[in-house]
A and B are shown apart, each in its own frame.
Chain A
Amino acid sequence: MTDLPTPIVSIEAVTKTFGATVALKDVDFQCFPGEVHAILGENGAGKSTLMKTISGVIRPTSGVLRAGGTPVTFKGPGDALRAGFVCMYQELSLVPDLSVQENLLLGAPGSRLGRLDRSPLATARDLLDRIDGQDIRLGAKVSDLTLAECQQVEIVKALIRKPKLLILDEATSALNASVVEKVFDLIRAQRDEGVAVLFISHRFHEIEALADRISVFRNGQRVETFPNGAHDYAAIIDMMVGQRIDELFPAKRSLPQDAKTVLDVADFAWQPEVKPTSFTVKAGQIVGLGGLDGQGQSRLLQGLFGLLRGTEGTLRINGAPIPTTGPKAAKQANIGLAYIPEDRKADGLIQDQSIMENLDLAAMGRADLAAGDVALYAGSLDRLELKHGGLDLPVSSLSGGNQQKVVLAKWLALAPKVLLLADPTRGIDVKTKTQIYTLLRELADAGTAILLLSTDYEELIHLCDETHIFYDGAVTRSLSGDDLSAQNIIAASLNIPSDGGVAHA
C-alpha cells in the first residue's frame, strides 16, 4: 500500500444526521482496490451508517462521495450496484416470501425489470457449495431457512454481482468457525483479483485473520486508520471505547453465603429449540446468557415471560411456582417479571407516542400502581439521567440509548422481582451503557434477580457473576469467577473444548 492507486471509494467530509442524532460527523475515508479494510467500532459508532451511505441506502446530509475518483450521488442502492458497490447487509436484504434463486436474481445487474438472466445461478450453486451450503436448495423459500443459511445466501448474492467493492456488514455473525474460514477464503480470492473489501465484524479474531488495514470509529467519527498488527487488542479496544474497559463496569461483589434464591428455573424446555435447562439467580446476582445467535437463549427468556406455548418444566420466584401464561399475568405484583425485548424500537416502544405514554403502558394494568403519576418513573429516569425536552414529546425524538432508558424506566416502575433483559445495550453509546450497567448492579444489590442475555462478551465477562453459554438449545458451559473469559465463552459458543482450536481468538 505504498504508492497509493486511485481509491475505489472515497468519502470526504461526510456528515449524516437523523433528526437530532448525528450518526456520522465530518468523516474522511478511503478504500483501495485489493485491500480488506476492516471497520471497528462500538454499536452506534457510525459503522453501519457509513456502509449504508456507500451502498446508496441513505444519502449523506453533507459531504462528497467518490467512486473511482469521480463524485457520485446515489439515488438508491440500484445506482451503487451499477457502480460496482455491493453490500451484504446486517439486516439481510433477502425477501422472505421468495425462493433462494429468486432472491439471488433479484436486482441482478443486466436484468432489472426485463427478462431475468438465469446464468448466475450456476455460479451461485458453486459458491454456496464452497461455503458449506450444500444443503441449501435453490428452490427453498427464504423464510424456511435458518439465520446462518440466510447469511450464506446473502454472501453468495453479493458475490455473483461481480463487485468492485464488496461491503460485508456483520456478514458472518451467525456462521460457525469452519464456514467463516471458507467464506474468508472466498473473500481473499476476491481481494487478490483486485476487489476492495470493507469488512465490519464484532469478532476481533476475524478481523485479525482477514484485514489488511483497520479503521476505528467512535461516536460517528473516524479515530484512526492503521495497518493490521500495528496496535494490540487492548489498545484498539481503548480506541473504540474511548476509555478503559474496567472503568465501564461497576465492581463485582462477592455474594453473601446466605443469599436467597429469587429465580429458580428447573428443567425448563420448549422442544426442540430449548432443551431442559436448569439454573438459579440469587439476590444480588447478575446472570448472563450467551452463545451464538439463535441457540435457544432468547427463546428461553421469551418462555420465562410466558410468550411461548407448550413450555415444560417449572419456574419458581422466591420459592413459589409461577405459571407462564403471558405478559399480563407475568407483570402482576404476585409474579413480578419484567422483560426488556431485543428489538426496543419495534417491540419495546410505540414510536409514535409520547415518552409519558410509553412510560405508563406497563404500569396501567396494575391496580396497585398510579400509572399516570410521573413520580413512579422519576426515580429511574433520574438514575439513568434521561435527557429529554419534555415527557410529552414523541419517544421517537430520543436517541437509541435514551429510548432504552425509557423502556427500562417503564418496567422498573413495576418494581419487578426478576428482570429479563434481551441484549439491552445493542447499538447504544458507551455512556448510556455504563449508566445501564451501574443501574443493573444497583438493582441486583437491592435484591432484584437479573437475567441478562447479551451478544457482547465484555458484558458477559465483566458485568455478570455467572454466565451460561448456549449451544443448540442447551447450556454447554456455565462460567463464573476466573473461568469467565473470552476464550472460554467463544469455545463454549462453538461447542469445542476450550484448550484448543481458537487459540488466536
Chain B
Amino acid sequence: MRDFFSAYRRELIASGVLVVLLSVYLGTHPRGASTYVLTIWANQCVILGLVAIAQFFAVIVRGIDLSVGAVMALTNTLASHLLDGSAVAIGLGIVAVLVAGVLCGLLNGALVVFGRIQPIVVTLATASIFVGIALILRPTPGGAVNYDLADAITLDLFGVPTALVIVAVLVFAFWLPFRRTGLGLGLYAVGSSAQGAFQSGMPVTTIRLAAFSLAGLFGAIAGLFYTFVTTTGDAGIAPNFTLNSIAAVVLGGVLLRGGTGSLIGALIGAFILKTIAALMFFSGIPSLAQPLFEGMILAVAIAIGGADILRARNRLEAFGR
C-alpha cells in the first residue's frame, strides 16, 4: 500500500485537484451536474486528454513531440474526407486515419533513432510537414462526417458521456494490461536509464521507435475524436494542442526528464486544464482576465512541482542525475 502511494503520489495529488475543480464547476454551473453539461465537459477534456497521451508516450522515453498537434491536424483533415458513406467505407477510413498517425510517429522515431537528431528539433520540422499536408487536405475548415456515428461517440451511453466510457476502456483495456508487458516496462526503463535498459538486454532502439509510433497513434485517435466532436476538418488546430499537451502532461505528474509518470496522469492533467477553462467561463471572473488566470494557475502548479528542489540539502541535487 505504501509503495502504491509513493509510486502514484503525483497522480493522486492531481486527481484530488481535479475532483475539487470538477465539484466547483458542477456546483457553480447554472444547469448543474446534468448529463448534457457532463457530456460537453467530457468531450473537451478527452480531446486534450488523447493529445496528452500522445505527448506522454514521447516524454516517457525522455523525448518530446512538438508534432502531436500537427499529427492531430493531419488526421483530423484526413478523417473529414473519409468518415462518411457506407459502414465499410467508414471502417476503412478509420483504419486509414490511424495508420496515417502511426506512420507520422514512425517517421519521427526513425529520424530520432537513426538520424540522431534531437526529438525537439525533429518534431519541430516534421510538424511543419504534417501541417502542410493537412492544409492540402483541407485548405479551409470543412468536410462531412457521418452524423449517426458522430452522435454515438460524442453523446452519452445511458446517461454516462461516451467520451468517459472511451477513457475507461482505454485505461482498463489498454493501459493497465500494456503496463504489464515488456514493452510497457521498457518505455519507462529507456526513459529512466537507457544504459540500464540496454544492459538488461532490452532492445532500446525498438522501444524508442515504438514510443514515437504510439505518440503518432494517439495523435491520430485524438484527431479522430476531434473530428467526431466538431464534424469538420481544420488544419489550423496544431499549435494550440501541442503546447497544451505539454502543459497537461506536466500537470499530470509526468516528468520531462523521462521515466516517471503514467498515461492516467497525462489524462488527469488534461482534464484539469480543461476543467479550469470551463470553470472560468462560469466563474464570474471577467472574461478578459481569464487567460491571465489560466496562465497563472499553470505557472503556480508547475512551480509547486519544482519546489521540492528548495528543500534539497545537497546543492549538487539541483543538477539532476
Contact = CB atoms under 8 A, between A and B. Distances in A.
**A and B: direct contact (Cβ < 8 Å)?**
yes
Interface of A: 55, 57, 76-78, 80-82, 87, 89, 91-99, 102-103, 105-107, 111-116, 137, 139-141, 144, 157, 270, 302, 306-310, 326
Contacts of B260: 97
B199 A116 contact: no
B188 interface: yes
Interface in B294-321: 312-316, 321
A500 B47 CA distance: 70
Nearest to B190: A95
Q: Is the interface of B mostly helix, strand, loop or mixed?
A: helix
Interface of B: 3-4, 6-7, 180-183, 185-186, 188-189, 191-193, 195-203, 206-207, 210, 259-260, 312-316, 321
Given A116-B180, A307-B316, A326-B315, A95 B198 contact: no
A325 B161 CA distance: 57
B196 A94 contact: yes
B211 to A, nearest CB: 12
Contacts of A102: 185, 188
B200 A106 contact: yes
22 contacts: A91-B195, A93-B196, A95-B196, A95-B259, A97-B193, A98-B185, A99-B3, A106-B185, A106-B197, A107-B201, A112-B201, A112-B203, A115-B180, A115-B182, A139-B3, A139-B4, A139-B7, A302-B314, A302-B316, A307-B314, A307-B315, A310-B313
Contacts of A308: 313-315
Contacts of B185: 98, 102, 105-106, 116
Contact of B182 (A82, A114, A137): A114
A105 B179 CA distance: 12
Given A97-B191, A98-B188, A302-B314, 10 more contacts: A78-B202, A87-B199, A95-B188, A96-B192, A98-B185, A113-B207, A116-B182, A157-B200, A306-B315, A310-B313
Residue of B206, B210, B314 with most chain A CB atoms under a 10 A cut-off: B314
Contact of B202 (A106, A116, A137, A141): A106
A306 B314 CA distance: 9
A80 B189 CA distance: 19
B188 A141 contact: no
Contacts of B206: 113
Given A98-B189, A102-B185, A307-B314, A113 B203 contact: yes
Contacts of B312: 309
A113 B182 contact: yes
A308 B314 CA distance: 4
A272 to B, nearest CB: 11
Contacts of A105: 182, 185
Nearest to B261: A97
A141 B313 contact: no
Nearest to A117: B182
A301 to B, nearest CB: 12
Nearest to A157: B200
A400 B193 CA distance: 24
Nearest to B257: A97
A133 B278 CA distance: 51
Contacts of B193: 94-97
A139 B1 CA distance: 9
Nearest to B183: A113
Nearest to B255: A97
A95 B316 contact: no
Nearest to A52: B199
B180 to A, nearest CB: 6
Nearest to A138: B3
Given A77-B200, A92-B196, A94-B196, A114 B189 contact: no
